Amino acid sequence: MFKTISYDTIDKNMLKGNYVLVDVRSPGEFNSETIPGAINIPLFYDDERKLIGTIYTQESVEKAKRIGIQVASSRLPVLYERILELEKQYDNIILFCARGGYRSSSLVSLFMTLGVNIFKLEGGYKGYRHYINENLPKILSEIQFVTIYGNTGTGKTHILKFLKEEGMDILDLEGCANHRGSLLGSVGLGEQNTQKMFESLVYESLKNRKTNVVFLEGESKRIGRIIIPEYLYSKIGTGKNIGIDADIKSRVNNVLKDYVHETDDELISALNLLRKHLSNTNIDRFICMIKNHEYEQVIEELMTKYYDPLYNHNNISYDAVFYNIYTEETSIKIIEWLKKTVSKQ
């Protein structure tokens, strides 16, 4: 009989000694979404998993099992070596697959007979997701959010990062989504995180906070393909709001630093998506300027003609407004404002 452990036990630090979570699902499953911090040691690769699954549904369960055993047995020596390496670094090794079924159960049973201190995660990744869905709303009850608003390029993200460096708790929603929240929001960032991965990263960030005051950047309810859950979005709306302003030159420079770094092709692809919002004449002109590396003019026109009218925050009531020239100075002023605000409560 193998040992199982619930994610609740892990999350509440009830497991003695350090541990590592090992995702034995295929690389495709792992890259889509996993438990933050887990490493991938796949029992089957993507093509093998697809083949076995097809045989399972279209031919017979027994044939699928036989092929699965053949594939897995050829990989066991490598898997065992990797597990032994982990055993040197961690007191506990915790394996999981999709539902805590065949893949993790068979490996945990085998490695236990070989003397490895190893667990199977109860319910697998699906059990972990159930835990997140249940506990992410609960963790919000004691938190007070301070939301930073401002037009594109006012330096909100840079301020948020500096606040973190100064010991403040932050929730980087764009970082959790791996997307900046606009039609140009994926430029230079690669593939966006899935909804499930986003929620897992939000939970990890909030769980590891030091205080109950958490700064974040103001977002619409959708960040690229990600939708901020209603319970989180509503909670953000009950907190305090800060407004950030900056001159147009500073805003252009901030956007230039964030978006322009050998990303011309991505910028042009993203600009083409704006044709339904701006005229073809403007977009064609912008693309021509991008090719000529005339980034500053494109950025300024995009902000004044598209982003500023789109993200109008006039309906928001601010508890404080800061003019941002230097990120460090603005961030320090925000921290000082917070201390005075908290002391009055």
Q: Are residues 79 and 113 in the same domain?
A: yes
Among 136, 140, 325, CA closest to 248: 325
What confidence tens digit (pLDDT) does each residue in 97-144 have? 999 888 899 899 999 999 999 999 999 999 999 999 999 999 999 999
- Last-in-domain residue among 66, 98, 133: 133
Q: Are residues 214 and 89 in the same domain?
A: no
* Token pair recorded at residue 219: 């977002």
Q: Are residues 106 and 182 in the same domain?
A: no
Among 92, 163, 164, 150, CA closest to 121: 92
Q: Residue 138 falls within a domain, yes or no?
A: no
Q: Report how many domains make up the chain.
A: 2
Amino acid at 243: G
Q: Is 244 exposed, middle or buried (0-12, 13-18, 19+ CB in 10 A)?
A: buried
Q: Is 179 exposed, middle or buried (0-12, 13-18, 19+ CB in 10 A)?
A: buried
Among 114, 115, 117, 134, CA closest to 22: 117
Amino acid at 329: E
- Last-in-domain residue among 107, 133, 159: 133
Among 220, 284, 290, 228, CA closest to 260: 290
Among 142, 146, 232, 239, CA closest to 195: 232
Structural domain span for residue 158 = 143-344
Predicted TM-score (pTM) of the model is 0.89
- Last-in-domain residue among 106, 133, 160: 133
What confidence tens digit (pLDDT) does each residue in 33-82 have? 999 999 999 999 999 888 888 888 888 888 888 888 888 888 899 999 99
What confidence tens digit (pLDDT) does each residue in 216-270 have? 999 889 998 899 999 999 999 999 999 999 999 999 999 888 888 888 888 888 8
Q: Residue 277 falls within a domain, yes or no?
A: yes
Please give the pLDDT value at position 194: 94
Q: 241 near 215, Cβ under 8 Å?
A: no
